[in-house]
């Protein structure tokens, strides 16, 4: 694999030398599960939709039917998706950390729950989860069937419109998750940054915290990102290929 081989071996060395490992993931780690990313090329979700048109509370208030139908379309994609070897490698890394007395935290911006379905246990979801829906006004979480909703917006038994249990632009992140993610980022000595453009805050601030604390930052991404200049090591390869190789090298 040429250059990525050398970076994979170096990444494994840094992870083996770490006592506290944090992983920060974005939409790119689910790309090889068939879940479109936001900014990637012409297949990116946002290439067809203006994010500010749909991923905001104002958009839902303006057109709850259209916004909830778009999210239900994405929910169906997620339900059909399967964890890929990248997700599974991070679950194996978590096992290795537990087995060797290291601390491990997985922080994700993703709302697809593929990390948990791939075996990860300690997952901090900064932007919520698209499989969860709640009352637009009450915030009450309402169990929903996997099937596509019959009408849009979906409603609770009492008729209250439901919205996806995710964080939209302009909304605060869940405070407990944000505090836990920032604490893990500020105290880790190695951070694996996988599949994110590093463009969305305050989530991407986790990378800044690790970098500022002097942690080794390893970026796994086929492309340059806004976080690349903070990386100690650049692994320019797709996650489903690079992560299994890195974790195999870590476990020797
Ligand atoms: C808040 C859920 C305030 C919705 C999402 C100017 C400067 C700084 C900040 C701002 C600003 N203007 C506005 C803001 C704030 C704004 C923000 O950061 N905007 C950005 C666009 C500039 N942030 C917010 O609004 C946040 N809230 O600030 O609240 C506040 C304060 C007090 C009180 C009230 C409010 C909320 C942000 C959360 C938004 N919700 N998701 C949905 O899913 O529809 S964010 C959305 O983008 C995704 O969830 C994802 O988490 C996030 C980032 O995207 P990425 O995951 O990085 O994905 P992307 O497509 O960008 O990149 C994919 C990467 O993968 C690429 O690099 C690609 O190369 C790589 N890749 C592709 N294939 C692979 C791969 N890598 C590896 N392997 C592969 N195979």
- pLDDT tens digit sequence for 129-169: 999 999 999 999 999 999 999 999 999 999 999 999 999 99
* CB-side neighbour CA atoms (13 Å) of 171: 18
Q: What are phi and psi of 231, to 5 degrees?
A: -90, 140
Which residue's C-alpha comes closest to atom 50 of ligand 1?
109
pLDDT > 90? residue 239: yes
User: Is the predicted pLDDT of residue 181 greater than 60, yes or no?
Assistant: yes
pLDDT of residue 1: 42
Ligand 1: nearest atom to the Cα of 37: 60
Joined tokens for residue 12: 């494994």
Cα 1 to ligand 1 centroid, rounded to whole Å? 30
Task: Give the pLDDT of residue 38.
Answer: 75
* Residues 52/221, Cβ–Cβ less than 8 Å: no
**Active site (annotated) includes residue 127:** yes
Quote the CA–CA distance of 70 and 55 in Å, as a whole number.
Answer: 10
SS3 for the chain is CCHHHHHHHHHHHHHHCCCEEEEEECHHHHHHHCCCCCCCCCCCHHHHCCHHHHCCHHHHHHCHHHHHHHHHHHHHHHHHCCCCHHHHHHHHHHHHHHHCCCEEEEEECCCCCHHHHCCCCCEEECCEEEEEEEECCCCCEECCCCCCCCCCCCECCCCCEEEEEECCCCCCCCHHHHHHHHHHHHHCCEEEEECCCCCCCCCCHHHHHHHHCCCEEEEECCCCCCCHHHCCEEECCCHHHHHHHHHHHHCC
For the cut 90, the answer to whether the pLDDT of residue 23 exceeds it is: yes
Nearest residue (by CA) to ligand 1, atom 75, is 28
Question: Percent of the chain at pLDDT above 70?
Answer: 94
| Dist CA 32 CA 239 (whole Å) | 8
Q: pLDDT value at position 37?
A: 80
At 46, the pLDDT band (50, 70, 90 cuts) reads low
CA-25 nearest atom, ligand 1 = 56
**Largest pairwise CA distance in the chain:** 60
pLDDT at 106 over 50: yes
Rounded CA-CA distance 161/60 in Å is 10
Q: What pLDDT sits at residue 47?
A: 58
Kindly tell me if the per-residue pLDDT of 113 is higher than 80: yes
CA 109–ligand 1 middle distance (angstroms) = 7
Question: How far is Cα 114 from Cα 77, in angstroms, rounded to an integer?
Answer: 12
pTM comes to 0.95
Ligand 1 atom nearest to CA at 223: 69
Residues 249 and 8: their CA atoms lie apart, in Å, by 8
- Residue whose Cα lies nearest atom 9 of ligand 1: it is 201
Q: Which is higher by pLDDT, 4 or 222?
A: 222
Q: Distance of alpha carbon 144 from its chain centroid, rounded?
A: 22
Shortest-distance atom of ligand 1 to CA 238: 78
Q: How far is the CA of 128 from the centre of ligand 1 (A)?
A: 13
pLDDT of residue 139: 96
Answer yes or no: is pLDDT of 42 > 80. no
Test site for ligand 1: of 27, 231, 237, most ligand atoms within 8 A of the Cβ: 27
Distance (angstroms) between ligand 1 centre and the Cα of 117 equals: 22
Confidence of residue 48 (pLDDT cuts 50, 70, 90): confident
245: Cβ contacts below 8 Å, ≥ 6 apart = 1, 8
């Amino acid at each position: 694999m040429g250059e990525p081989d050398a970076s994979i071996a170096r990444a494994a060395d840094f992870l083996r030398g770490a006592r506290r490992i944090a992983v920060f993931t974005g939409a790119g780690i689910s790309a090889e599960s068939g879940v479109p990313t936001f900014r990637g090329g012409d297949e990116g979700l946002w290439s067809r939709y203006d994010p500010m048109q749909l991923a905001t509370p104002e958009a839902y208030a303006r057109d709850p039917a259209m916004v909830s139908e778009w999210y239900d379309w994405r929910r169906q994609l997620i339900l059909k998706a399967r964890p890929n070897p990248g997700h599974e490698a991070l679950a194996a890394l978590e096992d290795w950390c537990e087995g060797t007395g290291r601390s491990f935290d997985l922080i994700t911006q993703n709302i697809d729950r593929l990390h948990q379905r791939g075996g990860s246990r300690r997952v901090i979801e900064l932007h919520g989860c698209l499989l969860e829906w709640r009352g637009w006004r009450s915030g009450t979480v309402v169990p929903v069937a996997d099937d596509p909703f019959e009408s849009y917006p979906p409603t609770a038994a009492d008729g209250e419109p439901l919205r996806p249990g995710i964080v939209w632009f302009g909304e605060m992140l869940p405070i407990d998750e944000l505090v836990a993610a920032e604490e893990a980022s500020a105290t880790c000595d190695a951070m694996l940054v996988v599949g994110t453009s590093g463009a969305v805050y305050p989530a991407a601030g986790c990378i800044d915290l690790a970098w500022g604390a002097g942690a080794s930052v390893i970026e796994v991404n086929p492309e340059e990102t806004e976080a690349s200049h903070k990386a100690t090591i650049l692994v320019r390869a797709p996650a489903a290929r690079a992560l299994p190789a890195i974790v195999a090298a870590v476990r020797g």
